[in-house]
Each structure stands twice: as C-alpha cells, then as structure tokens.
A and B are shown apart, each in its own frame.
Chain A
Amino acid sequence: MTGPRHRSDLDALLHRVARRDADALAVLYDHTRARVYGLVRHVLRDSGYSEETTQEVYLEVWRTADAYDPTKGSALSWLMTMAHRRAIDRVRAEQAATQRESRYGASAVEPPSDVVAESAIAADERRRVAECLGGLTDVQRQCIEMAYYGGLTYAEVSQRLSANLSTIKSRMRDALRGLRNCLGVP
C-alpha cells in the first residue's frame, strides 16, 4: 500500500494531518509503519530504541506535516528521510554516550524474505529491490551498509576502509546511481 503509485493518497493524508486530523495520522501510520519501523530497527538494532524513535518520527510528522512540500519529493520520501535522520541521530548519540564500537558490521542488508512476515508490501517489489542491491559491487554495498545503515559519516567510512575520501564519495554516488537506474526511480 505504500508504493510510489499511491503518492497522491499519502499527500492527501499529510494534508489532513497538517490540519490536526488524528484519524489521518492513524491511516498514515498503518500505511507506512512497516517501512518506518523496519528502517529504524535496521539502523538501531534494538527494539526498545526503535519503538521510541518510531514514536518520535510520527510525532514529528504530526508537528511538521504542514512543512511537507510535494514539489520537492514524494510524501513517502519525506517521511523516510525523517525516519532515517532520527535513527542516525540516535545511533550516533548512543555511540557517543557509550563509546561503543560502531555496529556497522552487524548492519548488512538482510535477505528481505524473512524480515517481513505479513506486510502490505508486495513480494515482487521486495524481490526486485533485493536484485538491485545484489547488482551493486561488494565495495559499493559496503559503503551503503556502513553509512546509511551503520550511521558512519563518509569520512569515517574512508578511515575504516583506508580508502581516500574521493573514492568513498564516488562509491556512494555510483551505488546510488546503480540502485536508481535498477529501480527506475524518476
């Protein structure tokens, strides 16, 4: 129920949320919760933190829905960007607080098949994403895993891999272009 083809539905829901329509937030939550919670949990690796952060994401939606501008991107992208930002902020805060070793090593993209049991997201859509992720080179995928899911900055990725900064930036850019083309993202 959450694919780009439903873009206008989510736009309409966000407009209602901006007018303090709690029922619209409930519907929005039901349409997007698996994506939001799943991404947050994949970054945080802790179900308690992930529940808290997911709650914060929807509170932020409630608070800032009127700032969503459909000309700058899809509603789902606006929401997922917010979810990712909060998850990354939390993982960095936790790491700074505990001086814990980064958990990027555990953040490899899992085979999607067993992640979603009963979700509205179609199986063929997941298969396609898995194929596109599989189409990246190992070093490209590693960059995405360490940065996007592990919370490292590109500079930290470059230190860990003993690669220079421009190499890492190129790998990230090439990884994203590959995924974008493979997925047919406009």
Chain B
Amino acid sequence: MTEPTDFELLELATPYALHAVSDAERAAIDRQLAAAPPSVVEAFREEVRAVRETMTAVSVATAAEPPTRLRAAVLAAVQPDDGRRSRWRTALLAAAAAIVVGLAAFGAGMTLRPSATPTMAEQIMAAPDVRTVSGQLAGGTATVVYSRDKNAGVLVMNNVPPPSQGTVYQMWLIGDKGPVSAGTMNTAAVAPSTTDTLTNLGTSSALAFTVEPGNGSPQPTGKILAKLSLI
C-alpha cells in the first residue's frame, strides 16, 4: 500500500517535527507531502503533532524566568500607540485624515477610508521578515522592531532617562556612507516608555545613539551611547 518513497517520507516526520532538517529538505518534504496519498499525509501530520506535543511537555525541563524588563518590551512592541510620541503622531494622523476627508469631499464618490489604513507600526509587525534587536541605553532599554521589506522600524525605549536640558538624543543609521541622522528626541519627548518610527533604513547595518547639543547635529559629535546591529 505504501510506496518506498512514502515510507521514506514518514521516516522524516520526526526530524521534520524537531526542526532537524535543512531549509532545502523541509521544502522538499513539503513538496512530497503535497503529492502524497491522503493516508500518508495523515500519518505524517499525526507523527508531527505527537512529537511537538511531546516536546512541549518536555519544555518544563528547560523553563526559566526571563528578565522582568522583557514583559514591558514585548507589550510595548504590540502597543505602539502608547506614550507621548504617539499622541503627537495621533494628532498628525488626525490632521492627515482631515486632509483625506477634505479630498474625498472634493472628489465626488470617493470612498477613502483612512481609518482602515494600517499604521506603519502595524505594517512592520505584519511583515514576514520582522526582526527585533535590543540594547542598553543610558540605564534603560532601546528596542528596534524592523522590517527590511518595509524599509522601516519602530523604536521603543523603556526607562531611558530624558537627555539633560539643552541636549537631545540623536539616532543615527550607520551605513556604507557613514552615519545618517534618523531623528532626535528632546527632554519633553522622552517618557518612561517612548516609541518612534524609523523610516528609510536602506542598507544601514546599525542604529546608534548619541547625545547632541541644541536640536541635533549633522554628524555625530558625542560618543556613541548604544549601537544596535540591524542584521
């Protein structure tokens, strides 16, 4: 009933379920499954399910409490509309929506629905290539959630103290041609939990932070406080 190739396929169910196959093998197995008889597919899926449930039961053996700061970072990343910066952004979005509504009224019958447009943060979260990188910044934590496909990222800062009066934190995207400013945050902008959007990541390989005088500098003059590698 079962062809030798089907037998070989079933033999791979355990390594497949354990993620102990290469990407190429995984793709080949998926292709074979798509062409295999339903009984073989069912047996394969059942084996995968059982292996994964078993290793889930085994996961009590490796359980370990994460640092408490991770909770805030996880939740801040899914609630980008939190904190002062977002109120400012919400105001901008409201202004943009008003313009769109105005345009809609101008062009008869247009059905623009700005509220249905996902925010850049939502688009980044939804991107298949979303990545996260974190580092210490002035005693707090800076986290960048980013997508190369979207060419953008969301910066979340937790418990980073505001810069001293008369200075700003300046973000720099470091690429082949050196650092390019990615914006500044002044004392008023830095809350216990602060988010900001980074656009035009380009081919930059890292995001660096410095303290700069006044409203920021064309090139970094302060020492680099933190550098997050954007892999």
Contact = CB atoms under 8 A, between A and B. Distances in A.
B53 A77 contact: yes
A125 B77 CA distance: 33
Interface string B24-55: 01000000000000000000010001111111
A116 B63 contact: yes
Nearest to A94: B231
Interface string A103-124: 0000001101001111101000
A118 B87 CA distance: 38
A147 B25 CA distance: 15
B218 to A, nearest CB: 31
A84 B18 CA distance: 8
Nearest to A51: B70
Contacts, number: 195
B65 A80 contact: no
A77 B52 contact: yes
Given A55-B132, A88-B19, A153-B22, A33 B11 contact: no
Interface residues of A, number: 73
Which of A35, A112, A130, A154 counts the most B-chain CB atoms under 10 A from its CB?
A: A154
Contact of B132 (A59, A63, A115): A59
A51 to B, nearest CB: 5
A26 B75 CA distance: 7
Contacts of A29: 71, 74-75
**Taking chain B's interface residues, is the majority helix, strand, or loop, or is none over half, making it mixed?**
helix
A55 B63 contact: no
B98 interface: no
B110 interface: no
B54 A176 contact: yes
B201 interface: no
A147 B16 CA distance: 11
What interface size band does chain B fall in? 35 or more
Interface in A151-186: 152-155, 157, 166, 169, 172-173, 176, 179-180, 183, 185-186
B79 interface: yes
B64 interface: yes
Interface string A48-59: 101111111011
Interface in A29-67: 29-30, 33-35, 37-39, 41-42, 47-48, 50-56, 58-60, 62-63
Contacts of B71: 26, 29-30, 33
Contacts of A74: 53, 56
Interface of B: 11-12, 14-15, 18-22, 25, 45, 49-67, 70-71, 73-75, 77-79, 125-126, 130-134, 143, 145, 231
- Enumerate the 3 nearest inter-chain pairs by beta-carbon distance, A residue then B residue, closest first: A38-B64, A37-B66, A147-B20
Given A63-B126, A93-B231, 20 more contacts: A29-B74, A35-B59, A38-B62, A39-B63, A41-B64, A47-B67, A51-B67, A59-B130, A60-B130, A112-B63, A116-B64, A118-B65, A119-B63, A119-B64, A119-B65, A126-B61, A133-B58, A133-B61, A147-B15, A153-B22
